[in-house]
Amino acid sequence: MTTSPPPSAPAATPAPTSLPTLLVLDAEPLPRLGRLTGRARIEHADAATLAERLPHADVLLVWDFASHAVREAWPGGGPRPRWVHTASAGVDHLMCPELAESDTVVTNARGVFDQPIAEYVAALVLAMAKDLPTTLRLQGERTWRHRESMRVAGTRACVVGSGPIGRAVVSTLEALGITTALVGRAARPGVHGPQDLDRLLAGADWVVAAAPLTDDTRGMFDARRFALMRPSARFVNVGRGPLVVEDDLVEALTARRIAGAALDVLSHEPLAPDSALWEVPELIVSPHMSGDTIGWRDELGAQFVELFESWAAGGPLANVVDKERGYVPGH
């Protein structure tokens, strides 16, 4: 008599893998995160709900990079995300002491805005050199007035901020025949240190601010620095608004201590309709758009998805910000 073998034990069912929770601080239009379907539990928050949802998130995507909600919500109680990514080059809008002192990794959108901003700076330089604002004004008045304009080849520029944006500005201006000097946090081959800044400002036809906002750079362009510049010099800020003491810039322009300026970033954005900056002579104001070319949001979303895939696979993260310095080191 044969004995049937005992029935085999059913195969063990694998325990479900817990998906990481990705919290998005929303801004319209929302990021395209379709590649993360089934790979992350995606939740959304706004400024009003961020604080209550932070403790449940593994990753925070700061898509609304103009918001200060992270800085306000982060000091609350409970766990905090292991990783925060901001869809911007600057991180001053989200950094607070509690975040800076935490183990949370912060990354930024370094690499997306470099060339677009450099092209915008070149456009501003050419517009001021060729007096295009006056040409457009005279056209609107149906006035034919012949004028002479400035040649940019052979002029000198001082670019302050030696990160990817500053370096892209240098290479783009040099393509126009402009001799450039790059100033960074510390001197090294190809980069001047802060000790050379005043001397370089005094000899520059164009001064471009492309530095991150830190304790060292806040208010660095003030009355003293504008007084160092040539009466024929023009100033451009594509870094952060608070790099400039705006009242001092207004006084320098009104008194014709410098010939012109362009601000794409301001201390308070959006600029109020009743702000005096709208009517300052020889000042071009634009609404923080120097890096925003067609398709830029898709580039930001794709960059984040690539970072997330690396993080989820246990790989290294690119663009890691030194939270004490306020920027990605190594440049």
Asked if residues 147 and 131 have their Cβ atoms less than 8 Å apart, the reply is: yes
Identify whether 240 is a catalytic site residue: yes
Tokens of 198: 């005043």
Segment (H or E) for 54: none
Tell me if residue 159 falls in helix, strand or coil: strand
What is the distance between the alpha carbons of residues 94 and 47, in angstroms, rounded to a whole number?
12
> With the C-alpha atoms ordered 239, 240, 242, 246, is the resulting torsion angle positive or negative?
positive
What is the token pair recorded at 284?
A: 């071009």
Distance CA 102, CA 74 (A): 10
The pair of structure tokens assigned to 291 is 């890096």
Q: Which of 167, 240, 246, 257 is catalytic?
A: 240
331 is known as an active-site residue: no
The question of whether 269 is a catalytic residue gets the answer yes
Are the C-beta atoms of residues 109 and 86 closer than 8 Å to each other?
yes
Question: Both tokens of residue 279?
Answer: 């009517």
Q: What is the dihedral of CA 250, 251, 253, 258, to 10 degrees?
A: -130
The active-site residue, picked from 43, 98, 174, 269, is 269
Amino acid at 195: Q
Which tokens hold the place of 39? 């790979």
CA-nearest of 322, 329, 92 to 188 is 329
Q: How far apart are CA 19 and CA 42, in angstroms?
A: 10
Which residue is listed with tokens 């005094």? Answer: 202
Which amino acid, 122? A
Catalytic residues: 240, 269, 288
